[in-house]
Amino acid sequence: MKRFNKNPSIIRSNNLFFPNIMNIKRKWIGIIIGSCIIAGTFYSGLLLQGDTFFFHIISSLIGGGIAGLFTAGKIFDGIKSGFMSGFIGSLVICIIILFNITLTLIRGPMDFIGGFVVLFGLIFTALAILFASIGGVIGVKIRDTWK
């Protein structure tokens, strides 16, 4: 019988049926915090009329990094957590953008700028997922240096 590792930050255990529940809760807390950072800073960047593109990339890296910090495991687990954080954050971004487009279509035909809003939303969705995954790797590496 193998002994379990005494390090509580490692989720890899020999028991596949009963994983460490605290590590799973901590992982999802990190994913939710990261996705709130990604979605929240996107809209605050739009309201502040700053450089939304640069602001969104940095916030995606930070959100994925927080998801990676809270995730126990190796680099691939950080990539998965960063991806989930970016996916949930970009889903919130796309839902609100599509809601605004629907309201525009109810009022009348969509103008030329409305088409760019759809493209804008899709580009920011892809960037959020990509940079949050990279941020997840960075978060795991930062956590590993603290051990």
Predicted pLDDT of residue 84: 95
Instruction: Check if the beta carbon of residue 48 is closer than 8 Å to that of residue 106.
Output: no
Q: pLDDT tens-digit profile of 103-116?
A: 878 888 777 777 77
Q: Which residues of 75-98 are buried (b: 16+ CB within 10 A; e: fewer)?
A: eebbbbbbbbbbbbbbebbbeebe
Residues with Cβ within 8 Å of residue 44, at least 6 apart in sequence: none
CA distance 113 to 1: 65
Tell me 4's DSSP state: P
pLDDT at residue 15 greater than cutoff 50: no
Work out the average pLDDT over 34-50: 82
